[in-house]
Amino acid sequence: MVDYEVMVGNKACAVACKLARVNVAAAFPITPQTSITEYLSELYASGEMPGFEFVNCEGELPAQVIVNNAALVGARAFTCTAGPGLQYMHHPMASTAGGRCPLVMAVVHRGIKSMQPDHSDLMSQQWTGWIHLYVENAQEILDTIIMGYKIGEDARVRLPVAVGYDGYVLSYTAEPVEIPPQEMVDKFLPPYKPPRSLIYDDPEASIGRGGGFRSGDPNYAWMMHNEGALNAEEVIKEVFAEWAKLTGRKYGTGMVEEYKTEGADVVITAMGTVAGSAAAAIDKLWKDGKKVGLVKIRSFLPFPRADFQRIAKNVQAIGVFDRSLQPGMGGPSYREIKNTLYDSNVHPVVAGFVGGLSGKEVTVKNFVDLGEKTLEYAKAKKADAHPIWV
């Protein structure tokens, strides 16, 4: 039976772990992630999760090592962290991905320079080779954690998945969440059966469990890792389509979710919770006769290249909003979109907006302005220099 409950984002995350029948969770509490560990502890203590071990670690680094090894021996593993905790976890994260250990980690965004949220924490982990998904609301957290296991455990991918969502404004915000029945989730997500060897069963590839090489071609492990990361796109699309069929909740293609892009002159992009406010702004803009669509980027890694090459064909400008900034290099999704369009034969104006850093509030009004500015850039066929501050 489908159940509903008004719950905060962090609880939705813990409930998803229960539904996914997670075997091992290891974490160190850090605001704004702490209440996930509290809910998991409660679930452990109440005995509602048979076969579940919860490890209260002495820090994030050991937490990542524990889930890494748990996944390696065939457990379905979960961890969660935020901001500086994620940075402390950086070192073993690379070997989780390199060792091809599929697990899911919730990253409750907290800026790397402040307590308040921006995407700089997860963005700073791009090189560890995980799959990075960004979500907007509590329902999407629950759905995406469950789907994350199916994506990561797929033989074509075999990679850990990070699900990022904003601290405070989502982690502590209560809203109605539909809890899918356990039987349905069990059917969707069968128990994890690790391959005989998690590392490709190839005698040529004598790869260490962290993804390093022991003999043979040192590039080999990286080639395989890269292949898995690229395969993730088709797997994400398949898994999201299957979930949509089961639950009726459709998140676009899984890679991107479009809102009122049909017939739009320009589109704006957003990731994570701010996409909700952006959608409200889009409604206002259309009411005023301004044809602005929204593309919510759900997967940052792999980046939705094909989707943006398709979308670019129908619009005059793309206003990209980034909630993180690499000083001197710019916003990450702005750079990726420009990079993607270089390979296509259509080149709309791409404007790169940056805002919401260190928890600065991003309002509906901000996105209305952003949409109007993008329309102006489309008319002028030229955008201001990146970054355009919001």
Partner 1 sequence: MIEIRLHGRGGQGAVTASRIIAAAAFEDGLYSQAIPMYGTERRGAPLTAYVRIDNVRVRERELVHTPDYSICFDEFISMNQTIANSMKPGGIVLANSKFKPEELPLAGDIKIACVDATGIAIKHLGRPITNTAILGAFCKLCPEVSLKGVEKAIYKYFPGRVGDMNVAAARASYEQVTDLITAKNKEPPKQVEEIVSGGYGALKDVSGWRVFEPVIDEEKCIGCKTCWIYCPEAALEWTANNKPAMISRACKGCGVCANECPVKAIEMVRVQVKK
Question: Which residues here bind partner 1, judged by CB under 8 A?
Answer: 4, 6, 8, 115, 136-137, 168-170, 172-176, 273-274, 276-277, 279-280, 361-364
3-class SS of residue 257: strand
Give the residue with the Cβ less far from partner 1, 29 or 129. 29
User: Least separation, in Å, of the C-beta of 135 and partner 1?
Assistant: 12
User: Least separation, in Å, of the C-beta of 169 and partner 1?
Assistant: 6
3-class SS of residue 300: strand
Contacts of 4 (CB under 8 A, 6+ apart): 176, 177, 178, 179
User: Least separation, in Å, of the C-beta of 310 and partner 1?
Assistant: 24
Give the residue with the Cβ less far from partner 1, 174 or 380. 174
Give the residue with the Cβ less far from partner 1, 172 or 213. 172
Residue 242, H or E segment: helix 220-247
Q: For helices 332-342 and 305-312, give the axis angle rounded to 10 degrees.
A: 70
User: Least separation, in Å, of the C-beta of 257 and partner 1?
Assistant: 12
Sign of CA dihedral 321, 324, 330, 331: negative
Give the residue with the Cβ less far from partner 1, 24 or 282. 282
3-class SS of residue 162: strand
**Distance of alpha carbon 199 from the chain centroid:** 24
User: Least separation, in Å, of the C-beta of 175 and partner 1?
Assistant: 5
Give the residue with the Cβ less far from partner 1, 116 or 340. 116
User: Least separation, in Å, of the C-beta of 279 and partner 1?
Assistant: 5
Give the residue with the Cβ less far from partner 1, 74 or 276. 276
Number of residues that make up the chain: 390
Q: Percent helix, strand, coil in the chain (nearest 5)?
A: 40, 20, 40
Report the C-alpha gap between 298 and 163 in whole angstroms.
Answer: 10
Q: Are 389 and 366 in contact (CB under 8 A)?
A: no
